[in-house]
């Protein structure tokens, strides 16, 4: 066969023909080289194998590969033992870094790399030196550079210290460094060493022991919204329903106690706040991200501390509900819009006939239509009386329907500073909640316009409870609401029929923004102003983060597609890992519970690679390896692949492969001896109850 002139024979045959000697030693054929012509003499089968080998080696050179004695030996093994073409294996470029290209070196390694491309979760199981972690790391760096993922997370269990690192001297990073050093070394092979600290500081690359992977947590008493109202996160169990970012219920998939954690209170600019640990995850974006249509980032609490402003702007925007919260429907004794009007401008003392005050006849007429068996009768000026309609021949005196409904709701006798929205209206369908809000805003609210800006909505009340209820209504519909107080002391008096009237209670003024499609007004004149100027887009930004000591914490995982759920003040947060390439190394040293915890952290757009050697388990006696258990549990699940490597795939010193094989033979012989001893014992004494077969 003739070798093309563009490939120097020294590249094909090696310095001093070292590659040629490897080939000659593997085949029973005579090989003669003269110039660029190779003559092969032997049986047709042997000659054909040598020709195919040289063709594959030439193809490797053509694609920029380098031939070494080790590569030639592996090519020969592939031709003899597998259907893989050596050229396809040795020329598959995974990552080019720091002047060299990382490629698989065996057929099994190529299948492993291909499986990582095709599956979401891949288990790489095999002895030390088979490239399990190194190839996975190369795929992770390649995915990050190609922007297929936003971050790389590398972890391994530190079982040599029982994951109890407190007794070791030094800082946390000095304590865990010995257990994570192999991962750091691989990173330095693939990335510019100067860039690694920057990537780690930005959270793009995270390296941590497995025990610290779970640290996305909140204090046990933190409120989480459920279809039945608020519950503390510490009460939740797997299978319970919580509210997701789309307003719909989503089940809890996992609950993970975290122990004592350092916690912070995260404040938004609208006054909303919640407690979370320093590792808790938040979906955030900058103004530039929003303008360019970029996806939400995921940052830990501690990553935002000290980085909350860009110039004079707040930097990190938080997501809001994409749709109103859907609570189960409840029957109500009064139309919700009518209730909102009466809470705003009604008077229901319980001892006199209910009344309503407004300068907008449209509202009085609407009230009359929505209150059955009630006549809204004009009295004088803005005042209307709500009389019960008497039926002909009626002899028994019945209670006014409005008074009866208000008594049932606990509102009868409430003054302006003690009014509230009953819970059966707050925790009801979006239509009911919006109708209550519209009634309140038509009565005591209004559009506020500013030149060159969109229209916001303002509402005022003297009742702190009603203030909080309106904030709840707005936030549950996907809007934002903030408030300020005008104390009664020092305010100039108002006028009633020309007489000064002093303020007895302070007033709360709410600024409200509602999402597109949620109309705040039914009153024609207010609705027209709002539609003319536009309501803008409600936005919520991180305002400040303050330390709050430590607390017992827990984290949960939910089934929502974006992993978000509603916490206190309708803040959205999550704690699974989206758009990440996650590698768990030395997985044979995880317990079954740790393996389950780790795998259920998988978020959308993420990929997990788990590597380990089930022959080198360092767990305490009596603890089963999670890597062994998981093979029986997940073997038949789609999109999960188990790649198995052997001593033939060892790419370290040649002796490593021989050592692995020797230990394999020793373990097999030892197993046979133990089995023989058991059989002899059964033959001599018989099988006793409780004996294992």
Question: Which of 11-15, 138-142, 433-437 has the least mean pLDDT?
Answer: 11-15
% pLDDT > 90, the chain: 42
CA distance 591 to 603: 22
Average of per-residue pLDDT values in the chain: 84
Please give the average per-residue pLDDT across 217-231, as a whole number: 94
pLDDT at 179 over 70: no
- Cα separation of the two ends of the chain: 61
pLDDT at 154 over 50: yes
Please give the average per-residue pLDDT across 335-354, as a whole number: 92
pLDDT at 329 over 90: yes
Look up residue 210 and give its DSSP letter. Answer: G
Please give the average per-residue pLDDT across 323-350, as a whole number: 94
Answer whether 423's CB lies under 8 Å from 436's CB: no
DSSP H helices, 534-653, are: 592-599, 626-634
- Confidence category of residue 661, pLDDT binned at 50, 70, 90: low
Question: Which of 288-302, 372-386, 454-468 has the least mean pLDDT?
Answer: 288-302
Q: The tokens 């009466």 sit on which residue?
A: 342
Which pLDDT value is given to residue 484?
Answer: 92
Q: Which of 144, 135, 285 is nearest to 204 (CA)?
A: 144
Collapse the DSSP code of 282 into the 3-class scheme (helix H, G, I; strand E, B; otherwise coil) and give the result: strand
Please give the average per-residue pLDDT across 147-167, as a whole number: 67
Predicted confidence (pLDDT) per residue in 309-324, tens digit:
988 899 999 999 999 9
Q: How many residues does the chain have?
A: 693
Which pLDDT value is given to residue 385?
Answer: 94
Architecture in CATH of 111-210+577-652: 3-Layer(aba) Sandwich (3.40)
Predicted confidence (pLDDT) per residue in 665-687, tens digit:
777 787 788 777 777 776 766 65
Query: At 461, which helix (H) or strand (E)?
Result: strand 453-461
Please give the average per-residue pLDDT across 214-238, as a whole number: 89
pLDDT at 476 over 90: yes
Fold of 216-320+542-573: Endonuclease - Pi-scei; Chain A, domain 1 (2.170.16)
Predicted confidence (pLDDT) per residue in 494-507, tens digit:
767 677 777 678 88
% pLDDT > 70, the chain: 88
Which pLDDT value is given to residue 425?
Answer: 97
Architecture in CATH of 1-91: 2-Layer Sandwich (3.30)
pLDDT at 652 over 70: no
Predicted confidence (pLDDT) per residue in 80-133, tens digit:
777 778 777 777 778 776 667 788 888 888 889 999 999 999 999 998 888 898
Which pLDDT value is given to residue 172?
Answer: 44
Token readout for 181 is 């050093």
CA distance 462 to 6: 89
Which CB contacts under 8 angstroms, 24+ apart, belong to 222-229? 222/274, 222/275, 222/276, 222/567, 222/568, 223/567, 223/568, 224/556, 224/565, 224/566, 224/567, 225/325, 225/565, 225/566, 225/567, 225/570, 227/326, 227/327, 227/328, 228/427, 229/423, 229/427
What's the predicted TM-score (pTM) here?
0.67
Q: List the beta strands (DSSP E) in 538-626.
A: 540-558, 565-566, 572-573, 580-584, 607-612
Query: At 385, which helix (H) or strand (E)?
Result: strand 383-388
Which pLDDT value is given to residue 389?
Answer: 86
Q: List the beta strands (DSSP E) in 168-301.
A: 205-209, 218-219, 223-226, 229-232, 241-243, 249-268, 273-277, 281-284, 297-300
Q: The tokens 């760096």 sit on which residue?
A: 141
Q: Which of 665, 661, 691 is nearest to 128 (CA)?
A: 661
Q: The tokens 């959205």 sit on which residue?
A: 572
Beta bridge partners of 385: 355, 377
Q: Is 672 exposed, middle or buried (0-12, 13-18, 19+ CB in 10 A)?
A: exposed
Which pLDDT value is given to residue 467?
Answer: 96
CB-based contacts of 482, cutoff 8 Å, min separation 6 = 269, 270, 271, 510, 511
CATH of 336-490+502-538 given 3.40.50.1820, 3.30.43.10, 3.40.50.2000, 3.10.28.10: 3.10.28.10
Answer whether 121's CB lies under 8 Å from 602's CB: yes
Look up residue 337 and give its DSSP letter. Answer: H
Which pLDDT value is given to residue 162?
Answer: 43
Please give the average per-residue pLDDT across 173-197, as a whole number: 75
Which pLDDT value is given to residue 321?
Answer: 95
CA distance 274 to 219: 10
- Confidence category of residue 656, pLDDT binned at 50, 70, 90: low
- Confidence category of residue 327, pLDDT binned at 50, 70, 90: very high
CA distance 679 to 315: 72
Predicted confidence (pLDDT) per residue in 409-425, tens digit:
999 989 999 999 999 99
> In sequence order, what DSSP letters do the residues of 401-458 get, joined into one string?
HHHHHHHHHT-TT--TTT----HHHHTS-HHHHHHHHHHHHHHHEEEEEETTEEEEEE
Which backbone phi and psi does 455 adopt, to 5 degrees? -85, 130
Spans of all domains in the chain? 1-91, 111-210+577-652, 216-320+542-573, 336-490+502-538, 664-693
Bigger pLDDT: 44 or 264? 264
Pairing of strands 151-156, 580-584: parallel
Highest mean pLDDT among 17-26, 29-38, 361-370, 529-538: 361-370
Please give the average per-residue pLDDT across 565-591, as a whole number: 86
Which pLDDT value is given to residue 540?
Answer: 95
Token readout for 346 is 């009604």
Which pLDDT value is given to residue 405?
Answer: 94
Give the Å distances, CA to CA, from 198 to 192, 414, 600. Answer: 11, 60, 29
pLDDT at 396 over 70: no
Bigger pLDDT: 61 or 159? 61
Neighbours of 334 (CB within 10 A): 22
Predicted confidence (pLDDT) per residue in 596-620, tens digit:
878 877 766 789 999 999 888 887 7
The sign of the dihedral angle between the CA atoms of 255, 259, 261, 264 is: positive
Which pLDDT value is given to residue 660?
Answer: 64
- Confidence category of residue 167, pLDDT binned at 50, 70, 90: very low
């Amino acid at each position: 066969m003739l070798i093309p002139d563009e490939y120097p024979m020294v590249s094909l045959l090696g310095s001093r023909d070292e590659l040629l000697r490897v080939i000659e030693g593997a085949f029973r054929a005579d090989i003669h080289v003269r110039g660029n012509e190779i003559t092969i003499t032997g049986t047709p089968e042997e000659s054909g194998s040598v020709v195919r080998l040289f063709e594959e080696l030439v193809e490797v050179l053509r694609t920029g590969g380098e031939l070494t004695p080790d590569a030639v030996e592996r090519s020969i093994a592939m031709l003899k033992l597998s259907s893989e073409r050596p050229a396809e294996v040795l020329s598959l470029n995974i990552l080019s870094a720091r002047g060299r290209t990382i490629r698989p070196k065996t057929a099994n390694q190529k299948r492993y790399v291909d499986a990582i491309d095709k599956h979401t979760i891949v288990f790489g199981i095999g002895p030390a030196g088979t490239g399990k972690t190194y190839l996975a790391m190369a795929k992770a760096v390649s995915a990050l550079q190609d922007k297929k993922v936003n971050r790389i997370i590398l972890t391994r269990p530190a079982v040599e210290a029982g994951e109890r690192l407190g007794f070791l001297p030094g800082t946390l990073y000095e304590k865990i460094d010995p257990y994570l050093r192999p991962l750091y070394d691989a990173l330095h092979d693939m990335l510019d060493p100067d860039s690694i600290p920057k990537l780690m500081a930005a959270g793009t690359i995270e390296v941590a022991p497995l025990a610290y992977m779970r640290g996305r947590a909140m204090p046990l008493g933190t409120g989480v919204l459920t279809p039945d109202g608020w519950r503390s996160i510490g009460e939740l169990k797997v299978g319970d329903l919580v509210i997701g970012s789309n307003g719909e219920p989503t089940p809890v998939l996992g609950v993970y106690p975290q122990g004592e954690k350092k916690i912070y209170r995260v404040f938004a600019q609208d006054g909303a706040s919640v407690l979370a640990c320093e590792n808790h995850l938040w979906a955030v974006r900058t103004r530039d991200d929003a303008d360019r249509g970029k996806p939400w980032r995921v940052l830990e609490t501690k990553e935002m501390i000290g980085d909350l402003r860009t110039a004079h702007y707040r930097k990190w925007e938080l997501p809001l509900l994409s749709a109103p919260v859907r609570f189960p429907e409840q029957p109500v004794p009064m139309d919700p819009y009518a209730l909102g009007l009466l809470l705003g401008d009604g008077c229901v003392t319980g001892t006199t006939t209910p009344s309503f005050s407004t300068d907008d006849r449209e509202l009085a007429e609407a009230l009359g239509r929505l209150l059955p068996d009630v006549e809204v009768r004009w009295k004088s000026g803005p005042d209307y009386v709500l009389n019960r309609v008497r039926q002909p021949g009626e002899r028994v005196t019945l209670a006014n329907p409005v008074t009866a409904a208000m008594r049932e709701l606990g509102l009868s006798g409430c003054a302006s500073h003690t009014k509230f929205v009953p819970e059966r209206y707050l925790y009801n369908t979006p239509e009911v909640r919006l109708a209550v809000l519209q009634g309140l805003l038509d009565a005591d609210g209004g559009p506020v316009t500013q030149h060159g800006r969109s229209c916001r909505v303002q509402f005022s009340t003297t009742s702190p409870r009603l203030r909080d209820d309106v904030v709840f209504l707005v936030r549950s519909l996907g809007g934002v609401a903030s408030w300020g107080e005008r104390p009664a002391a020092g305010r100039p008096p108002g006028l009633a029929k020309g007489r000064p009237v002093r303020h007895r209670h302070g007033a709360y003024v709410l600024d409200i923004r509602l999402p597109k499609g949620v109309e705040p007004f039914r009153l024609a004149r207010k609705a027209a102003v709002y539609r003319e100027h536009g309501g803008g887009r409600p936005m919520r930004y991180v305002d400040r983060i303050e330390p709050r000591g430590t607390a017992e914490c827990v984290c949960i995982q939910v089934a929502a597609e974006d992993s978000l759920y509603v916490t206190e003040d309708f803040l959205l947060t999550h704690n699974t890992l989206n758009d990440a390439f996650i590698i768990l190394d030395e997985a044979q040293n995880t317990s079954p519970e740790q393996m389950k915890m780790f795998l259920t952290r998988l978020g959308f757009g993420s990929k997990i690679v788990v590597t380990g050697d089930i022959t080198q388990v360092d767990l305490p006696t009596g603890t089963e390896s999670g890597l062994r258990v998981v093979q029986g549990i997940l073997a038949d699940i789609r999109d999960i692949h188990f790649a198995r490597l052997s001593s033939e795939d060892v790419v370290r010193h040649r002796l490593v492969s021989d050592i692995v094989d020797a230990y394999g033979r020793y373990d097999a012989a030892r197993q046979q001896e133990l089995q023989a001893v058991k059989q002899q014992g059964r033959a001599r004494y018989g099988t006793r109850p409780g004996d294992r077969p």
